[in-house]
Amino acid sequence: MYRVLIIDDEEPLIEAIKILGDWDALGVTEIAEAHNGREGIAQVRQHRPDLIIVDMKMPEMNGTEFLELIRKEYPDIPSIVISGYNDFDYTRQAIKSGSVDYLLKPVNKQELNQTLAEVIASIEEKKRERNEHIDRDITLNMSLPKLKEKIYMSIIENRHNNLTDKASLTMIGANNAQTQFGLALIRVMNLQEVLSKRFKGDTDLLYFSLANVINEEVGSDEVTCFSFNHPKREREIIIVYTYDVTHRETMTFIAQSSIKRAITNLNTLFGLVATAGIGGIGSEIGQLPKAYTHADQVVNSINLINLSEFMVSTAIAQGGSDSLSIAGRIPFIRHALEEGNPSYADTILAEYITKMKNSGYYSLGMAARTIREFTLLLHEMALELGVPGVELVMGYENALKARDVTTDYSTFTQFEQLLIHILSYYGELIRKSIHIHQHFDIHDIKEYIHNHYYEEIRISIFTERYYLSREYLMKLFKQEFGSGIYEYVQKVRMEKATELLMDPRMKIQDISDMLGYKDKNYFSKAFKNYYQLSPSDYRATILKI
């Protein structure tokens, strides 16, 4: 729901904030990070976060310079300043730049979450006020078709708060008691092909053209038709048609024949392949959610194995079995890939596909669910086997497009080929990762920490060196040594600090510098958090003994 950007040149602090923040309760779904002001500016311009947490002292561009620039370019984005310096000048600069709060390092969990909660509440209040303003001016800023689409979607998704709103109901013709509503869905099976070959990737032009053809074919003297693409499902066209109650008896035949005619014309004009489901005839406006659900079930129940051309159905087909889930084959596929035997993985998938086909019934809904489940399980498998997350960011759809492989399927054979391509994509990543990891020893990281504890140690040092995913590497380290990497770095530094404190000639500042801390106060706070004593008190206690 909310995006947060953390900017600090100390990666351990970024990780600490990620751990301490009660993000789920606050509604934060995405946390990005940057390591200096310039990186932070680039992140803000590209992703536009809802909240920024920024350190005041950083290389290349410090916090003051960053906040000044943000205040000019994005004055509505709130910021929280975090610093190891309890200095009035820093506080004054932060307040002058519009920051909502100023926290000292090391960050306290309670203070952090209290501040975050206050900022999120402020963001929500501003959003509420902005939405109220948008609602007041919506008729001035939105075209009639788009407004009608939003009204219909709010009704279909049960988000329309007041079905007695005369302005909205009049706009869609629902103010007349004699008006009846019907709803149908068209599922476009070869969207990528049509979009690429006939519309040169212009999705707006595609949907505009489809809606025009459908409205013309389904609409008549007796029927008013309004169609639009589902905003959350790119392959789905929603058709809402209205007619006088006196035509109710013949509307099933009229709707079925006119929608089939529309699909046929779409195929002739654009080469489009589609199926359709009719969800309800003779309904009041408040019954559209039920009609939509029925139409969706009708389309999802259509049998992919013997899919008829230009199929338009009104009934939900029965058949199939949950025992055909792909999840049961995943352990065997994983074993095959781990053993370096991709051919056996292909055989397991082929056997599953054959069983599906021999069942005689495999619905469009089952096919869509299988693809979602298969890709999710393979994605999780890839991460668990060490494939870096950055390698998976593209996603299988974009990766297949880059190989000129379509994710369309209008036949069972095409569906089969898509599953094979998905397995091939993830299988290649997994095999590459396993090959590299065979030459990796987790003790190398431990040794590096002991030799470089006084330097800034980032997880990215190891992920880039060993081609390991962040999650996989940290999991391996904790399994082997009982703590996370940053916790282990802290442990080594603190143990080294106690050795250095045994020498009364060494100043606290010198020890702080030798351990890689940029500020004596920050080192002292970190030491006290670890041992429950300040460095000076610890030294005094030890020397007395």
User: Can you give the CATH number for the domain in which 11 is found?
Assistant: 3.40.50.2300
Residues 40 and 55 in one domain: yes
Residues 288 and 352 in one domain: no
Reading the block at residue 398, the tokens are 């974009």
Is residue 143 one of the residues assigned to a domain? Answer: no
The answer on pLDDT for 534 being more than 70 is yes
424-446 confidence digits (pLDDT tens): 989 988 888 776 665 677 888 89
**Per-residue model confidence (pLDDT) at position 212:** 92
Is residue 480 one of the residues assigned to a domain? Answer: yes
Backbone angles phi, psi at 310, to 5 degrees: 60, 40
Greater confidence (355 vs 90) lies with 355
Of the listed ranges 107-116, 155-164, 201-210, the least confidently predicted one is: 155-164
Average pLDDT estimate for 311-327: 74
**Per-residue model confidence (pLDDT) at position 495:** 92
Domain that includes residue 365, residue range: 322-437
**29-38, 134-143, 399-408: range with highest mean pLDDT:** 29-38
Q: How far is CA 247 from CA 221, 222, 223, 255, 286, in A?
A: 11, 8, 9, 11, 20
CATH number of the domain where residue 484 is located: 1.10.10.60
243-267 confidence digits (pLDDT tens): 876 667 777 788 888 999 999 999 9
What confidence category does residue 377 fall into, taking pLDDT thresholds of 50, 70 and 90?
A: very high
Greater confidence (307 vs 366) lies with 366
163-201 confidence digits (pLDDT tens): 546 677 777 877 777 788 889 999 999 999 999 999 988
The total of structural domains in the chain comes to 4
Is residue 400 one of the residues assigned to a domain? Answer: yes
Residues 373 and 431 in one domain: yes
Q: How far is CA 424 from CA 198, 343, 356, 396, 431, in A?
A: 29, 10, 20, 10, 10
Q: Beta 28-34 vs 2-7: how paired, if at all?
A: parallel
Task: Show Cβ contacts of residue 382 under 8 Å, excluding neighbours closer than 6 positions.
Answer: 391, 392, 426, 429, 430, 433
Is residue 160 one of the residues assigned to a domain? Answer: no
Residues 471 and 414 in one domain: no
Sheet with 179-188: strands ordered across? 223-229, 236-244, 179-188, 274-283, 312-313
Residues 279 and 335 in one domain: no
Q: Which amino acid is at 365?
A: G
Three-class SS state of 278: strand
**Per-residue model confidence (pLDDT) at position 244:** 78
Is residue 172 one of the residues assigned to a domain? Answer: no
35-49 confidence digits (pLDDT tens): 988 998 998 998 899
Residues 364 and 277 in one domain: no
Q: Which amino acid is at 381?
A: M
Average pLDDT estimate for 466-481: 83
Q: Which of 383, 409, 437 is the last residue of a domain?
A: 437
CATH number of the domain where residue 251 is located: 3.30.70.270
Q: Beta 312-313 vs 274-283: how paired, if at all?
A: parallel
Q: Which of 437, 468, 485 is the last residue of a domain?
A: 437
* 60 Rama class: left (phi>0) / alpha (psi -120 to 50) / beta: left
Name residue 180's beta-bridge partners: 243
Is residue 432 one of the residues assigned to a domain? Answer: yes
Of the listed ranges 158-167, 382-391, 458-467, the least confidently predicted one is: 158-167
Residues 6 and 112 in one domain: yes
52-95 confidence digits (pLDDT tens): 998 888 888 888 888 888 888 888 888 888 877 655 556 566 66
Residues 106 and 7 in one domain: yes
Reading the block at residue 441, the tokens are 């020893």
Q: What is the Cα gyration radius of the chain?
A: 30
Of the listed ranges 41-50, 151-160, 290-299, the least confidently predicted one is: 151-160
Name residue 511's beta-bridge partners: none
Percent pLDDT > 90 in the chain is 32
Q: Which of 437, 469, 488 is the last residue of a domain?
A: 437
Residues 428 and 531 in one domain: no
Average pLDDT estimate for 485-510: 91
Supply the pTM of this predicted model.
0.56
Task: Show Cβ contacts of residue 198 under 8 Å, excluding neighbours closer than 6 positions.
Answer: 206, 270, 271
d(CA 243, CA 176): 11
Residues 183 and 307 in one domain: yes
Residues 9 and 126 in one domain: yes
Is residue 153 one of the residues assigned to a domain? Answer: no
Residues 336 and 408 in one domain: yes
Average pLDDT over the chain, rounded to an integer: 84
